[in-house]
Structure 1
Amino acid sequence: MTEFPDASESPVIEFRQVGLTYPGPPPFEAFRPSDLTVRKGEFITVVGPSGSGKTTFLNIAGLLDTPTRGTFLLDGIDTSMLKDTERTTLRGRRIGFVFQAFHLLPHRSARENVELAMVYSGTSRRERPGRAREALVRVGLGHRTDALPTRMSGGERQRVAIARALVGRPSLLLCDEPTGNLDTGNAEAVLQLLENLNSSGITVVLITHDLAVAARGRRTVSIKDGALSEGDQVGGC
């Protein structure tokens, strides 16, 4: 089993002139060389209009795409030095994903959906039910562990998805438009949950096109035309 160093003293995300160009033809610069540091316990929002490069940022930060230039360190680990299998292992251990679509299996209970996240993580079969219940309690669904997603509200389904992201005890919670499919009340409940999780020490990076959602972060990074900048929010989202 691959062993990675302790991350307690390192930034969770460190971009050093990280960029991504697709070869084409013609070549397309999807993400311009950028610097970014996200430290443990931060709540960062990444905002930009459709087509700005938010998905590319997500794919790089989530170890789904490999930068074509620069250096990306995750928990102090130089990801450019890893083999594909090591990148997959690191992603599974250090990153929890929450998406706009819940991606739950409709005929599996909330607990079973959360357990599925541990199938390839090396967690023993005996340990999985308890870990899943613990994660569901943490998101306020301890009373719904046996419920099917088809019998749950949108807000509850997103909470199950967050529990699934948390069950591996990641360093980073990477959220892509997590309130995009929710009504106002459920969206607010999910944002409050993410804020509470952040207050407990979890690092949160939330990607959104919604400036009101972006304002919930302690720090906001903007993306426009594939370029990252801090301090100036992008209008016209």
Structure 2
Amino acid sequence: MPRRRRPEPAPAHPRHPDAPVIEFRQVALTYPGPPPVEALRPCDLTVRRGEFVTVVGPSGSGKSTFLNVAGLLDSPTAGHYLLDGIDTGRLPDHARTALRGRRIGFVFQSFHLLSHRSALENVALAMLYASVPRTERLHRARAALEQVGLGHRTGAVPGRLSGGERQRVAIARALVGRPSLLLCDEPTGNLDSANAASVLALLDELHTAGMTVLVITHDAGVAAHGHRTLTVHDGVLRERVTA
């Protein structure tokens, strides 16, 4: 008889389908001084499931701080951040780390791929510590690469891929854990115009399929892909109002 696949453990915090993916309630982050720096001033924000939101602002405006808070890389010093309805401030550090790994897929300007590993291996490694059997990891990695249009490049190492293809591998790696949120930091920053357009078209496709996408960018053309755009200036987060 064929061996049965070992079931994945139930998540410690099941998703709440009606809850916003991101909910900030007067969230702020102040770095201690002297003098203290208000990197993110108290703000409210709701990002609902299936939205495509972009965040823009000049260098030093607080975009990176916002990214770090939204991505559970830094903890706010005030307010409450709920991810999928879970109050992240009530979690111990190890539980926050686990929640980040399950619920948030990161895509960065620098692709952060292992040069000596194939595209398939780079994607599968994202699940190495998620108690997923190796055969299942490879199956899901292939499916993720198919999803981003790279099913024919599974065996290629990053040095054999174009910049756009490397970013697609990075997006597949972010998707393979089936996150609630795809959080992208300047995802086209290292790409030429043709590859940038291809990656943005992929993000549009993922959003159309139901993925919640949040993109931090300095590029107005990239920001225009969002259905909503937020601005950050001197640590103040605001919704951009269009006429």
TM-score range, shorter chain: over 0.9
Q: Alignment partner of 2:127: what SS?
A: coil
Q: TM-score, normalised by structure 1?
A: 0.96
1:44 aligns with 2:49: no
2:118 corresponds to which of 97, 101, 109:
109
1:146 aligns with 2:150: no
Q: Alignment partner of 2:134: what SS?
A: coil
Partner AA of 1:121 in structure 2 = A
Distance in 2 (alpha carbons) for counterparts of 1:112 and 1:11 = 33
Q: Alignment partner of 1:117: what SS?
A: helix
Superposition deviation, residue 122 in structure 1: 1.8
Superposition deviation, residue 124 in structure 1: 1.5
1:55 aligns with 2:67: no
Query: RMSD in angstroms over aligned alpha carbons?
Result: 1.1
Q: Is contact 1:98-1:174 (8 Å) kept?
A: yes
Distance in 2 (alpha carbons) for counterparts of 1:119 and 1:28 = 38
Distance in 2 (alpha carbons) for counterparts of 1:145 and 1:52 = 39
Superposition deviation, residue 121 in structure 1: 1.6
1:72 aligns to what? 81
Gaps in structure 1 of 5+ consecutive residues: none
Distance in 2 (alpha carbons) for counterparts of 1:22 and 1:121 = 33
How do 1:1-237 residues align onto structure 2 when only pairs under 5 Å count?
3-232=12-241
Cα displacement string for residues 165-186 of structure 1 (whole angstroms, at most 9, x for unaligned residues)? 0000000000000000000000
Q: Could you say if the C-alpha distance between residues 114 and 145 of structure 1 is closer, same or farther in structure 2, counting changes exceeding 3 Å?
A: same
Superposition deviation, residue 232 in structure 1: 4.7
Gaps in structure 2 of 5+ consecutive residues: 1-8
Q: TM-score, normalised by structure 2?
A: 0.94
Misfit runs of 4+, over 6 Å: none
Partner AA of 1:183 in structure 2 = D
Q: Is contact 1:222-1:232 (8 Å) kept?
A: no
Distance in 2 (alpha carbons) for counterparts of 1:28 and 1:50 = 16
Count residues with an aligned counterpart: 233
